[in-house]
Amino acid sequence: MITTDFVPGSPCWLDLGAPDVDAAAAFYGAVFGWQAQAFDETSAYKSFRLDGKVVGAVGPLTEEGARSAWMIYFHVADIDATVQAAEQAGGSVRTPPSEASEEGRFAQLTDPQGAQFALWQPGSYPGVELTDAPGSLGWIELYTSDATAAQTFYGTVLGWTGQDMELPGGGGTYTMLTPKDCPPERMFGGLMAVPGMFESGEVRPYWHPVFGSADCDATVALVRENGGAVAMGPEDAEGVGRLAVCHDPAGAEFVVLTPAPAG
């Protein structure tokens, strides 16, 4: 589960790069009930809030040729050392460590297989304020071309440990991820190889967020009603819950999940 008492290597923030910030805010407001609020009068970057608590943010696309997508940030204690470790492990730096006023420092990177991610070294601002609840981040996933290489990279850079499980029906191996020296209940996400997805070169490996929902089917209906699309589901996953893979109107991918009852 993802919690807000962040430890090194755990997801702590996420934001959406959107071609139209106001349109994105309207879509996610309709689907999840989020309220968008500008950080200041001059900024196009807006926080998403649910019941007054920050669950993420949205801002304009800033990189040439970038597609609309969610970016996952991982908590680090020393961003300069982590960026250096990422480069030594074969990753590349898109945005070097930069100041976000007194709130913290961030960097944007790409892993050796091409998936983009980000780092956050907190100052006055730790990260999202609500997780593991309907309408908030509850899990993250990496679809990659080489699961073994990805696990080695992130293990080296962020210290994650992985636990493999075989998916039913010969669906492949799914590796569940946990921060270094943390118990299994701090597991926050998973990765899996989907090599056929990337053979054409048109799509690169990527991370996507999984948002909780009290009613997956009802949330998926709102996705469709507000111009989004559904790539898979809703369907039941044994031991996981009812889920659907969705795209917002600009194409950014996310998953909606109603978790299976505990026990």
Residue 147 — very low, low, confident or very high, per pLDDT cuts 50/70/90?
very high
- Mean per-residue pLDDT for 57-64? 86
Residue 176 — very low, low, confident or very high, per pLDDT cuts 50/70/90?
very high
The CATH homologous superfamily of the domain defined by 11-122: 2,3-Dihydroxybiphenyl 1,2-Dioxygenase, domain 1 (3.10.180.10)
More confident residue, 171 or 152: 152
Task: Say if residue 242's pLDDT is above 90.
Answer: yes
Question: What's the pLDDT at 252?
Answer: 97
Reading the block at residue 247, the tokens are 């795209």
- Mean per-residue pLDDT for 64-88? 94
Picking from 133, 158, 191, the residue whose alpha carbon sits closest to that of residue 2 is: 133
* Cβ proximity of 123 and 102 under 8 Å: yes
Q: What are phi and psi of 126, to 5 degrees?
A: -75, -40
More confident residue, 41 or 210: 210
Q: Is 164 helix (H, G, I), strand (E, B) or coil?
A: strand
User: Which residues in the chain belong to E strands, given as ranges?
Assistant: 11-18, 35-38, 46-50, 53-60, 69-75, 92-99, 104-110, 116-122, 137-144, 161-166, 173-178, 189-193, 206-212, 229-237, 241-247, 253-259
Task: Say if residue 244's pLDDT is above 70.
Answer: yes
- The pTM of this model reads 0.96
Question: What's the pLDDT at 150?
Answer: 97
Q: Which of 26-35, 56-65, 119-128 has the lowest mean pLDDT?
A: 56-65
pLDDT in tens, 200-224: 777 899 999 999 999 999 999 999 9
Q: Is 5 helix (H, G, I), strand (E, B) or coil?
A: coil
- Mean per-residue pLDDT for 165-190? 90
Q: CATH 3.10.180.10 in the chain, residues?
A: 11-122, 137-259
* Cβ proximity of 258 and 236 under 8 Å: no
Task: Say if residue 110's pLDDT is above 70.
Answer: yes
Query: For the chain, what's the residue count?
Result: 263
Q: Does domain 137-259 have CATH number 3.10.180.10?
A: yes
- Mean per-residue pLDDT for 148-161? 97
Residue 44 — very low, low, confident or very high, per pLDDT cuts 50/70/90?
confident
Task: Say if residue 263's pLDDT is above 70.
Answer: no
Q: Which of 39-43, 154-158, 225-229, 230-234 has the lowest mean pLDDT?
A: 39-43
Q: What pairs with residue 137 in β-bridges?
A: 131, 211
More confident residue, 69 or 195: 69
- Mean per-residue pLDDT for 118-138? 97
Instruction: Please tell me the distance from the alpha carbon of residue 55 to that of residue 37, in angstroms, as a whole number.
Output: 12
